[in-house]
Structure 1
Amino acid sequence: MPVVAGAGTTGPGVEMTRLRGRWRVTRPWPPRLRPFVHSYAGYWDAAASPYRVRLVPTGRAVVVINLGEPFAQVRRVGDADQHSQVTGSLVAGLEDGPRVCDHPGGQEAIRLELTPLGAFRMFAVPMNELTNRVVELSDVLGPDAGLLVEQLAATGDWGARFDLLDFALSARLEHGPDPAPEVRHAWRLLSLAGGAIPVGRISAEVGWSQGYLIRRFTEQVGLTPKMSARVLRFHRAMRLLTREGANLTEVTEVCGFYDQAHLNREFRALAGTTPGQIAAARLAEGALPL
């Protein structure tokens, strides 16, 4: 693949694709990271045009390492405080509602999606402290975060950037806290069922009372089991609706909603939009262009 001017070089195994005016740069991440990292990709603006996106809940934590212009504003939809905030490299915990991001253009960044328990291990903080919050990367990873960002920004080769990132992630994950086996099992049950499993059944399966399960699960995942189930069910429905030929009735039934009215209410509550708008949009990693 030819090198794109201004985007740096790529290196072996690196793929670069065009995505709505931006270049998306990917490479398979090492097997040792796969239990913790859902995805990572680099982004580079082909044209420095301002844009706004709405981010919807995905059941994952997000890290954005900014190597160019930072976001101008990152806020929860409906927040009373509408003051702009300039955010550099950031960490976003699990969400139970939509968030709007404004960017002035000229983005160059690496975006990671972490499984909740991968985030718990890497951040080494109770995940409920990050729920519905966006904080600076250094607030979670400490001063080493700034050095990592500087090294990545000074490296023009995307393959070398990913090498640096893989090394830093591996070192952090190696020494992070282990989630409770019961919480891991509870999250696995929820994920496999797409959220369509009662909390009582999960607590019986892991051998904990519901109250104790809720406390430990919320600490290590960031959302309660019930809210996690709602987010996972919504995210599954969203993925199905964006497929060609998706049928709203079938999606409602497959994902375990009572009826289409229930589906509509959940989309309004969790994404601030409708199933039809989601189906018509070209979502990329939970981002709805506005």
Structure 2
Amino acid sequence: MTRVGDRWRVTRPWPAQLRPIVHSYAGYWEAVAASPYRVRLVPTGRAVVVISLGEPFAQIHRLGGASPNSQVTGSLIAGLEDGSRVCDHPGGQEAIRLELTPLGAFRLFGMPMSELTNRVVELSDVLGPGAGLLVEQLATTGDWGARFDLLDIALTARLEHGPRPAPEVSHAWRLLARAGGAIPVGRIAAEVGWSQGYLVRRFTEQVGLTPKMSARVLRFHRAMGLLTREGANLAEVTAACGFYDQAHLNREFRSLAGTTPGQMAAARVAEGALAL
């Protein structure tokens, strides 16, 4: 259990069968008197599940999007993003938040990840009516260990019956993730034995973003992690992440996160969220 800003965070190791698909897994609740807050969520190359046990987000909107608001009345799922979102919360948050690999989300959700790209939807819209019962059980269980037990059982059951990603797509994602996005799509296609066009179609269906956009997001996410470390050097981060120069780095941060590397380095960032 740790304190992150104005909130408490509690987690534990998750079961072995979930480890390949789960990046993070934690419960949150406010450590101080409830007050409204706003955060900006930036692309991470991961799908997110938020199970609301208290007050849900009041408003979620994508920066520069044609639709101003995404109204979510409770728990939610967010697919992979190629831009940032601003989320407003009225205060009184208590929730469980999971970050999933895209192919893990493909198995758990049982649907093409391309249908969730740049979207935030109700949990029940993807997991069905049983999601409401699970949320109710979690909300009425006061012990965090028991809550995580319930969640582990539900996730494992869905994982066992979910669709399997194509081995070629899994290999392509591993290549991209290990390289931090710094690998040409043509080389990935040659490695998995598919044409580039076929790779793009199958990869986008099961991951949610094209290989090229996934590479951009992974490279941005790596750079963000390096920049938020103490003593980070902008030139060293630019070179380490494979950007042509600092102007290229700046353009990517503006495009994907609506901010600059300097602003990102100075911000308080927690799990892909910048406090505003």
TM-score range, shorter chain: over 0.9
TM-score w.r.t. structure 2 length?
Answer: 0.98
Aligned with 2:157 (options 162, 165, 171): 171
Paired with 2:109 and 2:253, the residues of 1 have a C-alpha distance of 30
Shift of 1:45: 1.1
The aligned residue for residue 2 of structure 2 is 17
Once residues 94 and 88 of structure 2 are traced to their aligned partners in structure 1, the CA distance between those partners, rounded to angstroms, is 14
Give the SS at the match of 1:54.
strand
**What is residue 38 of structure 1 aligned with on the other side?**
23
* Kept after mapping to 2: 8 A contact 1:155/1:161: yes
What are the Cα deviations for residues 160-184 of structure 1, in whole angstroms up to 9, with x where unaligned? 0000001100001011000000000
Contact 1:189 1:202 in 2 (8 A): yes
| Rounded Cα–Cα distance in structure 2 between residues aligned with 1:168 and 1:36 | 14
Report the residue type matching 2:16 in the other structure. Answer: P
How do residues 103-122 of structure 1 correspond to structure 2 at under 5 angstroms?
103-122=89-108
Deviations 1:38-74 (A, max 9, x none): 1111000122110000000000000000000010001
Matched residue SS, 1:109: strand
> Pairwise mapping of residues 1-290 of structure 1 onto structure 2 (< 5 A)?
16-46=1-31, 47-83=33-69, 85-290=71-276
Partner Cα distance (1:224, 1:187) in 2 = 11
Partner of 1:12: none
CA offsets per residue over residues 88-108 of structure 1, 9 Å max, x none? 100000000000000000000
Between 189-198 and 31-40, the greater mean CA deviation after superposition: 31-40
Calculate the aligned-residue CA RMSD, in Å.
Answer: 0.8
Shift of 1:75: 1.0
Work out whether residues 73 and 84 of structure 1, in 8 Å CA contact, stay in contact via their aligned partners in 2. Answer: yes
Which blocks of at least 5 consecutive residues in structure 2 are unaligned? none
Deviation for aligned residue 1:87: 3.0
| Aligned-residue offset at 1:78 | 1.6
Cα 1:268–1:147 shift into 2, 3 Å: same
- Is the Cα–Cα contact under 8 Å of residues 77 and 121 in structure 2 kept in the other structure? yes
Q: Distance in 2 between matches of 1:241 and 1:200?
A: 29
Q: Distance in 1 between matches of 2:207 and 2:274?
A: 24
Matched length: 275
Distance 1:240 1:148 in 2: 37
Structure 1 residues 86 and 185: CA distance shift in structure 2, 3 A: closer
Shift of 1:79: 2.3
Matched residue type, 2:205: E
CA shift, 1:83, in A, is 4.6
1:201-227 CA deviation, whole Å, 9 max, x = no partner? 000000000000000000000000000
Q: Answer whether contact 2:141 2:147 (CA < 8 A) is retained.
A: yes
1:266 and 1:101 mapped to 2: Cα distance?
22
Displacement after TM superposition at 1:264 (Å): 0.1
In structure 2, distance between residues paired with 1:217 and 1:226: 10
Moved over 6 A (4+): none
User: Could you tell me which amino acid in structure 2 is paired with residue 213 of structure 1?
Assistant: L
Distance in 2, Cα, partners of 1:188 & 1:34: 15
